[in-house]
Amino acid sequence: MTTSSPYPPAEVVIGLDVGTTGTKAVAFGMGSPWRHTVVREYPLLAPGPGWQVQDPATVVAAVMGALAEVVTTARGARVVGISVSTAMHALIGLDEGLRPLTPIVTWADSRATAEAAELRSSDEAEALHLASGTPLHPMSPLAKLLWFTRHEPALAARVRAWVGLKDYVLQTLTGTSATELSTASGSGLLDLATRTWNPRALELAGIREDQLPPILPTTAVLGLTKSAASRLGLATATPVVVGAGDGPLGNLGTGALDRGVVGLSVGTSGAARMVVPAPVTDPSGRLFCYALTDDAWVVGGAVSNGGIVVRWARDVLGDAGGDDAALLELAASVPAGSDGLVVLPYLLAERAPLWDPTLTGAIIGMRHSHTRGHVVRAVVEGVALQLWSIVDGLDAVTPVTSIRATGGVFRSQVWRDVTAGVLARPVTVTGGAEGSALGAAALGLLAVGRASSLTDGLDRLAPGLRRSGDAVVVDDADRDAYRAARARIPSLLDSYAAVADLFRTPARAGTSVHG
């Protein structure tokens, strides 16, 4: 997609966002509204129960292809830098030649459910969470490493280096074996106080410190190798900014940077995050804390069940003659609170605020008078109430003054109304199409000396973004209904917890696919 003039400016910066199912490379014009986006998709593979992996070669091919195409489209504009965002919590084992021995084990992989549960129930659970800022959950590389050392000891013994997705992309582009503070802060292996690898976490994982890459600042600048530069049509040593994780950069890319402003993103899954000046850890274990830069940290929580729950409802209940939009129209005719119907939307292994992937979903309070519209509205309200519990935790860190929301679900007025009503804070829906790629590019400008701050970098690429968006107006009756719904949630969850063991998804033992 190109905006404004078809002719690129003299200089561009490229934000590279390597995600779970695709890579997005966006060239942003310097001093110009021009931009161009290239997307390359790839599959998420499931070779075993609960496994969600990717082929490293396929991902690298997508990265290089997207970058080469966006450079070609820029038609000779000078590239001042490539800045990298990647999905967090991935793990790859490399051999002595730094070639993959394992697939990319993504954040969505739940093979380490039993290991994570063991860590959560241990005497060290609180200390591990407070030290690292990463919840004890199967997504965590700490839990994944424990799984490999237990279930694949022969394979683990052959691993020379354990790296993340970011680290593997940087190695491909720059030939440098390194990670950065943001990716490290999502591993469960970092000591936030020292910004170094945590010896106790490494001991529990069964690995040595020399098997992990050195940790660079997110603003560190490396250079393209001769080989990578040739493939991309760029000069050797073109600056590559190591960048940060996609979650923290998403806050930057949507302008949710100011004190008390929460960045809310809801697509298939969802997250609520707030930028703070120093690491903040949550003794209750509800919130994560990941780095954006040395002096900007993102605290918040992520849910696995976002818009995908409405898709489930469509598949189960029927599409009402079209698609998700048709079902949501039915939901719009139902009053706030869904006439007492409540859905706990734990269809996929859930993350925040409970971080218990074995919990299953529930429909509570069903009556004969309830319709498809009631169920769909209750589904949306259930997701919003999960997000409210995260925002409520953030309010204890810094009072939440407003929320900047982005994501495909907010094309629906029902999603807007329910989310704003449940969260009970001013909500502004923003475009945020480039999201983490824009955040990466803004961070890149700071790193290469073309911006004085993160906000300056963002304002140079997207003037006015931080103040743009559509404010959601909440009806007084809806506000009252959702106030009552929020008040019921603690006792409802307590009641559910009393019977949850009857319905929990059993943790599966590890199953080898390596022979």
Q: What is the topology classification, in CATH, of domain 256-429+475-505?
A: Nucleotidyltransferase; domain 5 (3.30.420)
Provide the pLDDT for residue 317: 86
The DSSP annotation for 482-504 comes to: HHHHHHHHHHHHHHHHHHHTTTP
Provide the pLDDT for residue 513: 32
pTM: 0.92
Tell me: the pLDDT tens digits for 73-118?
A: 998 899 999 999 999 999 999 999 999 999 999 999 999 999 999 9
Residues near 150 by Cβ (< 8 Å), separated by ≥ 6?
Answer: 115, 510
Residues near 97 by Cβ (< 8 Å), separated by ≥ 6?
Answer: none
Question: What residue ranges of the chain have pLDDT lower than 50?
Answer: 508-515
Provide the pLDDT for residue 490: 76
| Residue range(s) occupied by CATH 3.30.420.40 in the chain | 11-246, 256-429+475-505
Q: Which residues pair with 28 in a beta bridge?
A: 13, 35
Tell me: the pLDDT tens digits for 361-419?
A: 999 999 999 999 999 999 999 999 999 999 999 999 999 999 999 998 999 999 999 99
Q: Which residues pair with 12 in a beta bridge?
A: 29, 79
Q: Does domain 11-246 have CATH number 3.30.420.40?
A: yes
* Type of residue found at 197: W
The DSSP annotation for 336-371 comes to: TTGGG-EEE--SS---TTTT-TT---EEES--TT--
With beta carbons less than 8 A apart as the criterion, state whether 217 and 293 touch: yes
With beta carbons less than 8 A apart as the criterion, state whether 416 and 406 touch: no
Question: What is the b/e burial string over 365-404, where b = at least 16 CB atoms within 10 angstroms of the residue's CB?
Answer: eeeeebbbbbbbbbbbbbbbbbbbbbbbbbeebbebeebb
Neighbours of 361 (CB within 10 A): 17
Provide the pLDDT for residue 7: 75
Residues near 174 by Cβ (< 8 Å), separated by ≥ 6?
Answer: 222, 223, 224, 225, 228, 240
In this structure, what token pair is assigned to residue 208? Answer: 């040595």
Q: Tell me phi and psi for residue 27, to 5 degrees.
A: -95, 125
Least Cα distance to 128 among 119, 117, 115 occurs for: 119
Distance of CA 442 to the CA centre of its chain: 18
Rounded to whole angstroms, the Cα distance separating 349 from 507 reads 11
Give counts: helices (H), strands (E), the chain: 17, 23
Rounded to whole angstroms, the Cα distance separating 444 from 436 reads 12
Angle at which helix 165-174 crosses helix 56-73, to 10 degrees, equals: 60
